[in-house]
Each structure stands twice: as structure tokens, then as C-alpha cells.
Amino acid sequence: EPEVTQTPSHQVTQMGQEVILRCVPISNHLYFYWYRQILGQKVEFLVSFYNNEISEKSEIFDDQFSVERPDGSNFTLKIRSTKLEDSAMYFCASSLFDSEGEQFFGPGTRLTVL
Amino acid sequence: ILNVEQSPQSLHVQEGDSTNFTCSFPSSNFYALHWYRWETAKSPEALFVMTLNGDEKKKGRISATLNTKEGYSYLYIKGSQPEDSATYLCAFDAGNNRKLIWGLGTSLAVNP
């Protein structure tokens, strides 16, 4: 069964460093998303992406964040200068164009900013 | 600010018990309500996407109902099994590019 994959599973970085979180969505999906969950808090929407551009982004997704689909396969989230409060589990998801909106999630990347 | 609430926050039941939990969401600008099952160290798994008021969906021993007028959905598990132990999350979809607003989840533990 096709699945969304994410790498790495755990990333540790120093404050101020850039990180790139990688996702490979399900191959025939057209919509892509990033969410995050800070420990003990609700899952939060970051950004949705369709047709090579951002469809919607939350107030969390400021200038420090960017997304890219560089090669038609990968979908990346970049944080330019990480802050302590960026420590969270980051989930990638994808969905079909004509589905009921069911989103398929990857296993997540745990980002720890020291 | 859109808010989604789930109750109870956690639940412990014995194997064989039936259980249910609640998701409350805004009753305006409703597009869909998603239920996910999330086991530790695994990906959240979609259970249901519900769109119509009064709708009821079923998958095996798990079913869900939807009331969009009053803004709630119930998830039922009949005859709980230890493998049902997980966090059950609901997410509200206002239709704006599939941005989901999530509840905190109900953590279910089923004791054998």
C-alpha cells in the first residue's frame, strides 16, 4: 500500500541553524501539507501546497519557513534560522484532488532545537 | 478563532467494553470533519471524513456520527480490543484549501 515517508525521523540542531525536513508524498497525490505538534499541544496546520504554490498558510508559517517541491517527488520544509520554540514533531501529508479530503500522513520528523 | 474540543481527554476501558467520545467544532463554515487514529510511533491513520449532517459512517467496530447544526461528532467503538489503544483525533475542515483545525485528541487505553 502506498504511503507517505519522511526523513529524517529525528533531527537535532543548534538554535539559529537551518534545517530541511523531507517528505515523499504518495505519488499520484496533488495536494501537500505540513503540520506540527509541539509536545502536549494540538496538531497545528502550517501550510498547504498545490500546483507548485502555497494554497494556504497559518500565522506560524512566517518568513523563516519555506516549502518546495524540487523534483516532482520530494516535498520539503525549510526552517531558515531555527528557534527553541520550533522544537516539535513535524508531519507531512498528501491527498488526492478528487477525494473527500482524506489526508494521508507520514510518520513525522521530531525536530529538537538546542 | 476556530476551536475544536475533544472529550474526554483520556479513557481507560476493559477489553469488550463499548465506548464513545466527542468532538465539538464550529457549526459555521462547515465543510468536513475528519477522524484519525494515531498509534504511538506510527502515522495518523484516517478513519472517516464526514460531510453531511446526520451522516453515520462505519468501519468494522468503529462508527461515527455527525451533527453539523450543533457542531459535534461522536466516535463509537463497539467491543474494544487492546489493539484499539491509540489517540483518536478529530479535525475540522472549513474548506479553505483543506487546512485542518485539530482537537487535542482522546487517548484510549484498552486493558486485556
What's the 3-state SS for chain B?
Answer: CCCCEEECCEEEEECCCCEEEEEECCCCCCCEEEEEEECCCCCCEEEEEECCCCCEEEECCEEEEEECCCCEEEEEECCCCHHHCEEEEEEEECCCCCCEEECCCEEEEEEC
Grid cell at residue B42: 506510527
Is the Cβ of A43 closer than 8 Å to some Cβ of chain B?
Answer: yes
Mean pLDDT to the nearest integer, B3-19? 96
Whether A16 has a pLDDT exceeding 60, the answer reads yes
Write the pLDDT tens digit of every residue in B70-85.
999 999 999 999 999 9
Q: Report the pLDDT value the prediction gives residue A96, as an integer from 0 to 100.
A: 85
Contact between chains at A41 and B104 (C-beta distance less than 8 A): yes
Q: Which of B32, B43, B101 lies closest to A105 in CB terms?
A: B43
Distance from CA of A63 to the nearest CA of B (A): 19
Does A100 sit within 8 Å of B32, measured CB to CB?
A: yes
pLDDT at A98: 42
**Distance in angstroms (rounded) separating the CA atoms of residues A68 and B9:** 36
Q: Measured in whole angstroms, how far is the alpha carbon of residue A49 from the centre of its chain?
A: 10
Residue B32 cell numbers, joined: 468536513
Three-class DSSP category at A27: coil
Task: Output the CA–CA distances (angstroms, integers) from residue B10 to B19, B38, B63, B85, in the order listed.
Answer: 12, 14, 19, 11
Lowest mean pLDDT among A79-93, A96-110, B32-46, B67-81: A96-110
B36 within 8 A of B45, measured Cβ to Cβ: yes
Range picked from B24-33, B39-48, B81-90 for highest mean pLDDT: B81-90
Per-residue pLDDT, B98: 67
Model confidence pLDDT, tens digit, residues A38-80: 998 999 999 999 889 998 899 999 999 999 998 878 999 999 9
Is any Cβ of chain A less than 8 angstroms from the Cβ of B32? Answer: yes
Residues of B in contact with A110 (CB under 8 A): none
Q: How many CB pairs under 8 A join A and B?
A: 62
Amino acid B42: pLDDT: 87
pLDDT average, residue stretch A29-45: 92
Whether A97 shows a pLDDT value over 80: the answer reads: no
Terminal CA-to-CA distance of chain B, rounded, Å? 41
CA distance A41 to chain B (A): 7
Say what percent of chain B tops pLDDT 90: 79
Cell numbers for B59: 468501519
Distance separating alpha carbons of residues A50 and A28, to the nearest angstrom: 13
Q: Residue B61's closest CA among B93, B28, B90, B84?
A: B84
Of chain B, the percentage scoring pLDDT greater than 70 comes to 96
Q: What are the C-alpha distances in Å from B74 to residues B6, B40, B64?
A: 10, 22, 5
